[in-house]
């Protein structure tokens, strides 16, 4: 049996996807209210009966605010100047997996009807 927890944050940021064809709406600069959800899994619970205390995940939220919120994601080198939701999910996962070894998935949503996930 595996226990799984998730924690979600939101932020606002702009981007554009310059590799898309001329005339594609996402080629132009635009913004989203993004949602990031992290998932952690473990076979055992800690002495408090948790996978990880949600409060322990606070640094991820602080990093999202300081690094991503109200930014132009095209300016972030790690996103290779084409900041798709897929690349953003991988970037967040790679940034935090060492600190949180039970991190198994990061899901990013740029609209209520779309998600992109990166898993170990």
Catalytic residues: 26, 70, 110
Contact criterion met (CB below 8 Å) for 108 and 90: no
Taking the C-alpha atoms of residue 10 and residue 65, their distance in angstroms, rounded to an integer, is 9
Alpha carbons 108 and 39: distance in angstroms, whole number? 12
> What is d(CA 76, CA 64) in angstroms, rounded to the nearest whole number?
13
């Amino acid at each position: 049996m595996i226990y799984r927890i998730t924690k979600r944050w939101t932020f606002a940021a702009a981007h554009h996807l310059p590799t898309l064809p001329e005339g594609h709406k996402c080629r132009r600069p635009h913004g989203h209210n993004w949602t990031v959800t992290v998932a952690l899994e473990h076979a055992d619970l800690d002495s408090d009966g948790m996978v990880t205390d949600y409060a322990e995940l606070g640094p991820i939220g602080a990093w999202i605010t300081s690094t991503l919120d109200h930014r132009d994601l095209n300016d972030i080198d790690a996103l290779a100047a084409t900041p798709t939701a897929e690349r953003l999910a991988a970037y967040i996962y790679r940034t935090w997996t060492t600190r949180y070894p039970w991190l198994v998935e990061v899901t990013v949503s740029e609209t209520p009807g779309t998600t992109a996930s990166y898993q170990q």
